[in-house]
Amino acid sequence: MSFTRRRFSLAAGSALAFAAKPAFAADPVKVGALYPLSGQVAKSGEDTLNGIRLAVDIINKKYPNLKMPLAADEGLPGLGGAPIELIAADHQGSPETGAAEAERLIVQSKVVALVGAFHSSVAATSSQVAERMGVPYISGESEATPLTERGYRWFFRTTPSSRTQAKDFFTFLRDINKTHNNSVKSIAVVHESTLWGQEFAKSVDAYFKEFPEFQKSIFVGYQQGTADVTSEVQKLIAAKPDAVFHASYDAEAILFARTYKQYGFNPQGIMAIGASFGSSAFRDALGADANYFFVREHWSRDLAARNPLVGEVAKMYRERYGKDMDGTPARAFTAMMVLGDAINHAKSRDPEKIRDALAATDIKGDALIMPWEGVKFDKTGQNILTRGIFVQTLDGTPKMVWPADFAAAKLVWPRPAWR
């Protein structure tokens, strides 16, 4: 009797000990991702989220041939091999929905960090929630400058802001003028009128002082989702600028390009911020008319010539998602890698420790797929080691043409006439 009772209590005790054991170190680390998965930019939202999914997969599985942090091990070694569990939420392009979803992810899904949001307007509100609730928020692709000017502790941004990107446009034109007889004198700006477009216009405006050889021509703002851009284009025709800077999402890029062709509007060069004028959707819709547009890009597949890692990751993206990677998924991918790296260094799921690890991030350029010098955040949470490139669509393919030292093709300036 007492023998079996002892055995029983021994067995029961060990069973209870197992049941009461705290969470395994290998339990997944939950990260929330906020992106527009329905609505006007659903395509871009999904493509961007796929960049993050790819990064999560590389972190979670073993890829010993990829020379980047966390690729060779399974999961996060600093947390006993714990995998990252990505929980995606659709903010539909609405700042209010973004904030609500951020709160839901933090409170109900108990994520340790947030990644997002494509739209700067949604990044603004959702990161506000994260700041209030003490959860790290990393943005790989929301560019509006004010996002890092709010004095937040919990917000980090790996992508360059609109302001730093605007400067690249002027640097580029100054370079063009050196080899093309100073032919560019006036600059016009066409921009959509939400936070992103307005910020770009403001940033460009501020740089005319630093680059006095250029004059400000007309600035045309337009409503996203406009049915017709005739009045906008006619204003540009009347102003006769030498160069046009564009801040547009995919849809209007197509509309503007077609309307430019209709009215024969042909400045020396049209250069865009954001991938729209170089995207596959744009090239499919316009065919040969997509040629000669410039895009100030964050990333190009041509970078693989300098760093093979770029080609390998781009190939994986293409194989899994059936589309070519472009600058936005590439940056989202990078942001997720930076976050994974920080959580790994923090060796903890505690948001405060993750935040501190993010603030101390120091990743070298060759571990990234971006043309940056590295990732290092300043006091405001902005990555200060970024660099831009210009890509021009030639013969239907976007080719990196600037800076000249790692150009894959020679740039064409001025634009030839519309055929």
Binding site residues, another protein, CB under 8 A: 38-43, 45-46, 193, 220-223, 225-232, 234-235, 238, 250-251, 254-255, 258, 262-264, 281, 284-287
CA distance 124 to 417: 41
Question: What minimum distance in Å lies between the beta carbon of 232 and another protein?
Answer: 5
Please say which residue, 93 or 136, places its beta carbon nearer to another protein.
Answer: 93
In a 3-state reduction of DSSP, which class is residue 397?
strand
CA neighbours within 13 Å on the CB side: how many for 332? 27
Question: What minimum distance in Å lies between the beta carbon of 281 and another protein?
Answer: 5
Please say which residue, 166 or 229, places its beta carbon nearer to another protein.
Answer: 229
Please say which residue, 26 or 42, places its beta carbon nearer to another protein.
Answer: 42
235: tokens are 């204003």
Please say which residue, 130 or 233, places its beta carbon nearer to another protein.
Answer: 233
CA distance 251 to 224: 9
Question: What minimum distance in Å lies between the beta carbon of 96 and another protein?
Answer: 18
Please say which residue, 157 or 191, places its beta carbon nearer to another protein.
Answer: 191
Question: What minimum distance in Å lies between the beta carbon of 37 and another protein?
Answer: 8
Question: What minimum distance in Å lies between the beta carbon of 226 and another protein?
Answer: 8
CA distance 156 to 331: 13
CA distance 292 to 271: 9
Number of residues assigned to the chain: 419
For residue 398, cis peptide bond before it (omega within 30 degrees of 0): no
Please say which residue, 1 or 417, places its beta carbon nearer to another protein.
Answer: 417
Question: What minimum distance in Å lies between the beta carbon of 170 and another protein?
Answer: 24
207: tokens are 């740089």
Please say which residue, 241 or 381, places its beta carbon nearer to another protein.
Answer: 241
CA distance 98 to 37: 12
Distances (CA, A) of 311 to 67, 82, 204: 12, 28, 33
Question: What minimum distance in Å lies between the beta carbon of 187 and another protein?
Answer: 18
Residue corresponding to tokens 């992508």: 159
Helices (H), 182-294: 195-207, 230-239, 250-263, 280-286
Please say which residue, 41 or 314, places its beta carbon nearer to another protein.
Answer: 41
Question: What minimum distance in Å lies between the beta carbon of 249 and another protein?
Answer: 10
Question: What minimum distance in Å lies between the beta carbon of 416 and another protein?
Answer: 18
CA distance 259 to 267: 14
Selection from 165, 223, 232, 174 nearest residue 199 by Cα: 165
Q: What is the CA radius of gyration of the chain?
A: 24
Which residues fall within 8 angstroms of residue 5, CB to CB, at 6 or more apart? none
Work out the number of other CB atoms within 10 angstroms of the CB of residue 361: 19
Please say which residue, 208 or 263, places its beta carbon nearer to another protein.
Answer: 263
CA torsion 68→74→78→80, rounded to 10°?
180
Question: What minimum distance in Å lies between the beta carbon of 190 and another protein?
Answer: 9
Please say which residue, 65 or 230, places its beta carbon nearer to another protein.
Answer: 230
CA distance 153 to 317: 33
375 φ/ψ angles, rounded to the nearest 5 degrees: -130, 120
